[in-house]
Structure 1
Amino acid sequence: MKYLQAVLGILFLTLTVYAHNPGADDSLPWIPFTWEPENPNKGIPEKTQFSIPVKITGISQQFEALINLNSMARTMLNGYAFDRCLKKYPALKQRIDTTRIAYIQDIFCPFLTKIELTLGEIVFPETDIPLFYNYLYTAADSLSAKSEKRIATIATDFFADGVLVIDYPNERLCRLNEIAESWKEKFYFVDIRKSKDYPKVILPLKIAGSTRNVIFETDCNMFPLLSTPSKISKIIDAKCCTDTLLLGYGAERIELYGYKIKGAVRLGPIVFDSCPIYEVEYIDDDDLNKAKVWGIIGNRYFLNRTIVIDYKNGKFGISY
């Protein structure tokens, strides 16, 4: 009898966790993601950015798409890579609409219309995406290579009318229509600041006892937390440098320094694990002040948690 009660107790606990924690619910339409280490210090793996598998109906090749929140508002296809697809699949030219234009980074981009995207195993029909011809990754062998090639960036607009859930421990994400009422008991929620063009994920972090607004970035951010030298000077011991990174921009080499923070980093009741903060001189104080933010936070603080971004209602949740 005691054994049966124990089994029932475990079963009840398991069902309760699944009901309250979306990161534990395998029935959700999860899309797996893959980490891309880009730490310039060789031998030090760093989870900096992640991508998801993508297929375009009518093209046999498997591609990948980078998840980029905040630094880029628009989902886009790599125009150079897609042009190579047109050589093998010329019928896709009929789906390019040059009368519809997206203006991205000072470039006019036509739309590829009414295509069917499959992210992981989840199908998104009737999708319109601009073709961007200043893409960082040219993917010259995107059709001939056996490995997956990046052909797209999935940005904030893809989730703007719903909810994005990122389950970091299990390396997966999903897009939902709304937050389940039961989740609210297991997540701490804060408001997302609204902007004219798209909602930025700006979090009110308490750093070393003071509240500072930081932008949450998922793309190309190898730093757990970063800001300008003048802004971090009050919360670090300048004599206690814990890390040095060497970044390359063409022929230029830039050294970045990480420091231990004097005090804890918190989001409401959540206390994050200790991570260094990096000073970066290529970000200007005036730019941060204009955006009304203190710095940028990356993925690293959330690696052992599930987060929920409710773009529709302007909420950000982190699991307790």
Structure 2
Amino acid sequence: MKRLVFIIVAIVLLLNNANGQKFAEFKWVNDSVSGRYIEKLAILLPVQIENLPNRFLMQLDLGSTQSVIRGNTIGSFYQKYPDLKRKLDTINLCKFHMREYPQINNLDIKIGDVFDCNVNAASLQGYGVKVPVDSLSPEVEILIGSIGTDVLKDKVLVIDYPNSRMSITDASEMNASDYSFIPFQFLKENEDNRLLLPFTANGQELRVMFDTGASMFQLSAPEKNAKMICDSQAVDSLLINSWGEKKKIIGLESNVELRFGEKVLPQLKVYYDPSNKYDFFYESNNVFGLTGNALFLSDVVVIDYQNKRFGIKKNTH
């Protein structure tokens, strides 16, 4: 009898472990843009930084190959936590958005109860706000930076959009049969693990970058690319703030059938920047455009960085 009980308990534990994938709940950023209230602009993850007792938030930004920390904000903690300050490297600078910044070496970051990582994060001097460390309530959540793709090498990222939660795990712990997969490419193999998804327009394949930090639009593209798949008459315009720069964005309406794998996409508003500032990036990397969270808000998606495949959970609608 005891042996039978032991076997039953062991089976239950195995089943629990098989289905015991840990998730962290995330928060959405909602804000007004050009006088228009827009929901779900960005994903904020709950994180712990080193051994600091405070509660922090970091944006999930798959459009960045490097995790970044807001220099003004983290600097508020240096006097009280000198061990943290000693990790700041002002000699070996790193590049971010075409500028050089100090980096914080071997920074321990814990994402919810899901994932621990150790990163060399860019410290963006002049960004963020200083906080009153000694008088700050431990319940106050502090936005301190963003998580990039550097922490996801050979990992699996699950984003459960309907339930606002995420997980980072190993491929061996994922139930792959739950998902329909499409292979993706990295922007530059072994150098830049931003991912490119294969969209099709009237049967022609388009390489579209997936960026969780660009979730305002279902699809954006250089002007000439947008006009390849859209009517030329503008149906929308917005004045947005991008890294401190104000710029006008024009929206067009798609007029071709767009697909992502077997998923037929609805008619989209496709936005472009008339300044053509980033056209060289798209052209030189053979990238058609940029998509983000907005196309997948009703889906559970999995990004398998080890096997280079993007999955959508079956029967989620």
Where on the TM-score scale, by shorter chain, does this alignment land: which range?
A: 0.7 to 0.9
Map of 1:118 onto structure 2? 110
> Structure 1 residue 205: deviation in Å?
0.5
Q: Deviations over 1:216-238 (max 9, x none)?
A: 11114411101122112122122
Q: Distance in 2 between matches of 1:228 and 1:307?
A: 26
Percent of aligned pairs sharing the same letter: 23
- Choose from 108, 120, 125 the match for 1:134: 125
> Structure 1 residue 131: deviation in Å?
4.7
Map of 1:15 onto structure 2? none
Shift in CA distance, 312/188, structure 1 to aligned 2, threshold 3 Å: closer
Q: Is 1:172 the counterpart of 2:165 in the alignment? A: yes
- Choose from 69, 75, 78 the match for 1:83: 75
Please show how residues 41-190 of structure 1 align to structure 2 within 5 Å: 41-70=34-63, 72-94=64-86, 96=87, 98=89, 101=92, 103-105=94-96, 106-113=99-106, 116-122=108-114, 124=116, 127-134=118-125, 136=127, 138-141=128-131, 143=133, 144-146=135-137, 147-178=140-171, 182-184=175-177, 186-190=179-183
> Structure 1 residue 297: deviation in Å?
0.8
Q: Deviations over 1:281-317 (max 9, x none)?
A: 2444332110111111121001011111111222222
Q: Please, which runs of 5 or more residues in structure 1 have no aligned partner?
A: 1-18, 20-24
Shift in CA distance, 290/164, structure 1 to aligned 2, threshold 3 Å: same
Structure 1 contact 163–309 (Cα < 8 Å) conserved: yes
Structure 2 contact 101–124 (Cα < 8 Å) conserved: no
Structure 1 contact 48–298 (Cα < 8 Å) conserved: no
Shift in CA distance, 319/135, structure 1 to aligned 2, threshold 3 Å: farther
Q: Is 1:298 the counterpart of 2:292 in the alignment? A: yes
Structure 1 contact 305–318 (Cα < 8 Å) conserved: yes
Q: Deviations over 1:158-188 (max 9, x none)?
A: 0112111111111111111115574245323
When structure 1 is superposed on structure 2, of 148-157 and 265-274 the one drifting more is 265-274
Q: Please, which runs of 5 or more residues in structure 2 have no aligned partner?
A: 1-14
> Structure 1 residue 103: deviation in Å?
1.4
Shift in CA distance, 100/289, structure 1 to aligned 2, threshold 3 Å: same
Structure 2 contact 88–102 (Cα < 8 Å) conserved: no
Structure 1 contact 208–235 (Cα < 8 Å) conserved: no
> Structure 1 residue 108: deviation in Å?
4.7
Matched AA of 2:73: A
TM-score (structure 2 length as normaliser): 0.80
Structure 1 contact 101–111 (Cα < 8 Å) conserved: no
> Structure 1 residue 110: deviation in Å?
3.8
- Give the secondary-structure state (helix, strand or coil) at the position aligned to 2:131: coil
- Give the secondary-structure state (helix, strand or coil) at the position aligned to 1:50: strand
Q: Distance in 2 between matches of 1:142 and 1:202?
A: 41
When structure 1 is superposed on structure 2, of 53-62 and 39-48 the one drifting more is 39-48
Count the aligned residue pairs: 291
Shift in CA distance, 145/275, structure 1 to aligned 2, threshold 3 Å: farther
When structure 1 is superposed on structure 2, of 154-163 and 203-212 the one drifting more is 203-212
- Give the secondary-structure state (helix, strand or coil) at the position aligned to 1:64: strand
Map of 2:8 onto structure 1? none
- Choose from 258, 262, 266 the match for 2:251: 258
Matched AA of 2:34: N
Shift in CA distance, 232/76, structure 1 to aligned 2, threshold 3 Å: closer
Structure 2 contact 101–125 (Cα < 8 Å) conserved: no
